[in-house]
Structure 1
Amino acid sequence: MNPSEKFFRRERRSVPAARRFAHAFLAECGLAEAERGGDVLLCVSELATNALVHGVPPGRQFRVFLRYDGHAVRVEVHDSGGGVPHVDEADEGDEGGRGLLLVAALADKWGVGERDLGKVVWAEFGCEGGARPAAQPKASLPVQLPITVV
């Protein structure tokens, strides 16, 4: 499956838009109804929310990158904000603070990479059984019809 990416504005409606983008990607890969599909979508929402709230300065955008290699889905959320996020234990009454905790619990692997301008937070989910990665088209051979002798 070819990777897919999309940029999102620094606005509240970008989080559900990022989730719809991820759902369309999973559907294209044959994974929309897969066991891990819900985990992927929840983590896209959490990472997009974190980018929006903590990582995207005014006037900037964040980028969601998705890739499926036939075995795993990789989600990357790139932003231009400073600092490296970390998992915090949220108090019972807190309304937020659980995003990376959820990502850490649901993803097979996750991490943070620093860039020249900002960071990328990524997560990987084992997802077998979807569409296989796009193969190079094979050259078609000329068709030869059988000859009938009368």
Structure 2
Amino acid sequence: MPLSRQRRFPRSRASVGAARTFVHQVLMDWDRLDRLDDVTLCASELATNALLHGVPPGRQYCVTLTLDGPLLRLAVRDTGDHPAPAGPPAEDACSGRGLHLAREVSDDLGVTEHVIGKTVWVVFKTDGETDGGV
């Protein structure tokens, strides 16, 4: 049976660090450390994108981690009406590299559009299997 944890975060700059800490703690609890740096980097990038482009004032975003065997899925859902940025940034751009970076360090990346908002997700292949007892 897959393991799953989620937490909501407010629209504030401090929430990106809190989301990264949440992801780090869940991975420690699940003893999935082989992709720790990649997953926490993606948590920062996806949370930052949600904060800057997807979370209207007064709303929150949600970070969900799901572990199903060796596959770890990190998803960040927001309630904004802005679509996820498409394509890589221009070579001389000073920002806009978050999703491109997440695509490079993860094994898969996608966007699920909802009636209200969207979910941006990444998948990582990890070592080991879930023991079902966590």
Which residue matches 1:103?
Answer: 102
Partner deviation per Cα, 1:112-136 (whole Å, 9 max, x = no partner): 0011110000000000126x1416x
Q: Distance in 1 between matches of 2:55 and 2:111?
A: 16
1:19/1:44 contact within 8 Å kept:
yes
Which residue matches 1:124?
Answer: 123
- The answer as to 2:15 corresponding to 1:14 is yes
Bigger helix share: 2
TM-score using structure 2 length = 0.91
Which residue matches 2:57?
Answer: 58
Which residue matches 1:46?
Answer: 45
TM-score using structure 1 length = 0.82
How many residue pairs align between the two structures? 131
Tell me which structure has the larger Cα radius of gyration. Answer: 1
1:70/1:128 contact within 8 Å kept:
no
Which residue matches 1:114?
Answer: 113
Q: Distance in 2 between matches of 1:25 and 1:50?
A: 21
How far the C-alpha of 1:31 sits from its partner, in A, is 1.3
2:65/2:75 contact within 8 Å kept:
yes
Which residue matches 2:67?
Answer: 68
Q: Distance in 1 between matches of 2:131 and 2:98?
A: 30
Q: Distance in 1 between matches of 2:128 and 2:62?
A: 27
Which residue matches 2:89?
Answer: 89
Partner deviation per Cα, 1:81-123 (whole Å, 9 max, x = no partner): 11321233243351x2100010110111110001111000000
Equivalent position SS for 1:51:
helix
Structure 1 gaps of 5+ residues are 136-150
Q: Distance in 1 between matches of 2:131 and 2:88?
A: 36
Structure 2 gaps of 5+ residues are none
